[in-house]
Structure 1
Amino acid sequence: MTEHGPGTSDADTLYVFAVCRNPDLSDVVGLPGVTDDSPVSPLSLGTLTAIVQTVRASDFTDEAWQARLSDQRELERYARAHHDVVSALAARCPTVPLPMATLYHGAQRARDALAEEEDRFHAALARIAHHAEWGVKVYASPGPRDDGDRPPARQVASADRSRPAPGAGLAYLNRRRGVQERRERSQHEALRTAEAVDTEVRGLATASRRLRVHPQPPGERRVQLLNATYLVAEHRAEELAVLTRTLRDRTGAQIELSGPWVPYSFVGEV
């Protein structure tokens, strides 16, 4: 969809934040967008509207963008500015957000390129209207240390102070086997719980996506079992909150609910 990414001529360029229908710009007017050089403004696409901002092409050359990618603070500033415009718009009307740094040479080039995606935009807008995205994560806590991990006890004797107690080796192996079996059962039960949570939330949602499970940072003992996102109708938001609390009580699992968010994960699925 993007005519070109970072890297343009020196002419002024349109930065496109999102495409929407019947926009209410009351919360968008006054936002700085990604630059202070020009206001955020609408661009008519006929039955749809793009929300754009005129930017200097020199700020989006390959070199400038690569430098920005290596500057975490600057990259976060651009990402936040982009998200602020999209979020303000989505709070007022169905909105399809475009990727950060979607750029076009002039208004007519933007209209021509975006018009080619008109059917997809209409389908996405119909799907996400009056919906929001919610995230659900399920965690399991590691079990306590088991004595089966300890080495076999040593029998202290005057002749040989390092000799194991009779039968200690076999007992140690049995303990280790038992520890492994308990861990496998615990993991299996935890995964079954995570699948059950996903099944119940999907029953309430309009659509869902399973995301990659994230490894936990150093020092975090919890294990992430489910990382999923759901498209939920606005009128079912409270129902989702109640369901999450019920699942926590019923399963004993650690369940985190986040949102509502702009449905970024579902605008590309029509």
Structure 2
Amino acid sequence: MTGLRYVYAVCRPFELPLQSQLTGIGGAPPAVVHHHGLVAVVSTVSEADFSEEALKAHLEDLDWLAATARAHQGVIDALTTVTTPLPMRLATVFRDDSGLRTMIEAREDDFRRILDRLAGRVEWGVKVYLEPEPAEPEPAAPEKPASGRDYLRRRRASSHAHEEKWQRAEAFAHSLHERLRGHAEDFRLHAPQNAALSTAPGRNVLNAAYLVPRAHSEEFVEMVDRTKDEAPGIRVELTGPWAAYSFSGEAAGETGGETVGEPAGKAAEPTGETAGDAS
């Protein structure tokens, strides 16, 4: 079968080896393509899986998408330990190395500028949740309100208590963000996660990404950890270190070149934009 070039990331040449057992899409170890002082990290994949028509079908197969995203992210994570990668979107493929090199030449100024900016930096994700109310046991005989006025009073009291908790969570999230942004070079505030679509319990108050020098990451993590018990009923989640997806910039997404299919989605933690595009 015809092979296509699947691209995980573009980066500077790196000397440290990747993990010896690292595998990418399809179970094969990733390879590198050097061009104009840049490196594309790639795998050869089957056209039967990554042609335009095949990708349209795979978009309906959540198991395939999940397995592909895990393999993609595994390569990005491995690259992050040895260099600064500029991640491409999931399912960015080219017909051959010629098309890949054409893309690099068309965007190399953008790639170099962004890689220079991100060198030695990683992304940390911070989310703040208002914990769900604990379930209360049902009374043996539910107490009935004495009157309609009594019922409305209870409803207002319950609504007021909930609003107070939400305002307290928002104030905590704002205070935490102000502290964290002071220890980061840049940040992105993403839209809160939809509670109906998220598997995380509670209501998302803050969904932020922070660009932090790798050398200062330990201090950043310690700062987040110290806040986790500051506010009862509020949960703080820290993820990372990631490749700097949220700070890769829109310019690097306009890869151009001879591509096959459309990107199937993002293989990163869902907190930002990816750098590559197969449009």
TM-score calculated relative to the size of structure 2 = 0.75
Within 5 A, what are the aligned runs for 1:126-205?
A: 126-142=116-132, 151-153=144-146, 168-205=147-184
5+ residue gaps, structure 2: 137-141, 252-279
Within 5 A, what are the aligned runs for 1:15-164?
A: 15-24=6-15, 26-27=17-18, 31-35=22-26, 40-142=30-132, 151-153=144-146
Other-structure match for 1:164: none
Give per-residue Cα distances to partners, 1:135-164, cap 9 Å, x unaligned: 11111234577xxx96522xxxxxxxxxxx
1:199 to partner: Cα distance = 1.8
Moved over 4 A (4+): 142-145, 216-221
1:239 to partner: Cα distance = 1.4
Q: Which moved more, 1:209-218 or 1:40-49?
A: 209-218
Give the 3-state SS of the residue equivalent to 1:53 in structure 2: strand
The partner residue of 2:235 within 234, 239, 254 is 254
Aligned AA for 1:152? P
The partner residue of 2:5 within 1, 11, 14 is 14
Other-structure match for 2:139: none
Give the 3-state SS of the residue equivalent to 2:208 in structure 1: strand
1:171 to partner: Cα distance = 4.0
Give the 3-state SS of the residue equivalent to 2:15 in structure 1: coil
Give per-residue Cα distances to partners, 1:94-121, cap 9 Å, x unaligned: 1111112212232222111221111211
Aligned AA for 2:110? R
Give per-residue Cα distances to partners, 1:17-75, cap 9 Å, x unaligned: 21110223621666442235x75322122121112233333332233223322222222
Give the 3-state SS of the residue equivalent to 1:117 in structure 2: helix
Question: 2-side partners of 1:226 and 1:58: how far apart?
Answer: 41
Question: 2-side partners of 1:259 and 1:240: how far apart?
Answer: 11
Aligned AA for 1:67? A
1:92 to partner: Cα distance = 0.6
Q: Which has the larger radius of gyration?
A: 1
Native 8 Å contact 1:79 1:100 kept in 2: yes
TM-score calculated relative to the size of structure 1 = 0.78
CA 1:179/1:89 → structure 2, altered by over 3 Å: closer, same or farther? closer
Question: 2-side partners of 1:31 and 1:221: how far apart?
Answer: 33
Other-structure match for 1:163: none
Give the 3-state SS of the residue equivalent to 1:35 in structure 2: helix
Question: 2-side partners of 1:203 and 1:245: how far apart?
Answer: 16
The partner residue of 1:232 within 212, 224, 236 is 212
Aligned AA for 2:206? L
Native 8 Å contact 2:84 2:243 kept in 1: no
Native 8 Å contact 1:30 1:40 kept in 2: no
Aligned AA for 2:211? L
Q: Which moved more, 1:227-236 or 1:207-216?
A: 207-216
Q: Which moved more, 1:172-181 or 1:228-237?
A: 172-181
Establish whether residue 265 from structure 1 lines up as the match of residue 256 from structure 2: no
CA 1:201/1:103 → structure 2, altered by over 3 Å: closer, same or farther? same
Cα RMSD over matched residues? 2.9
Other-structure match for 1:157: none
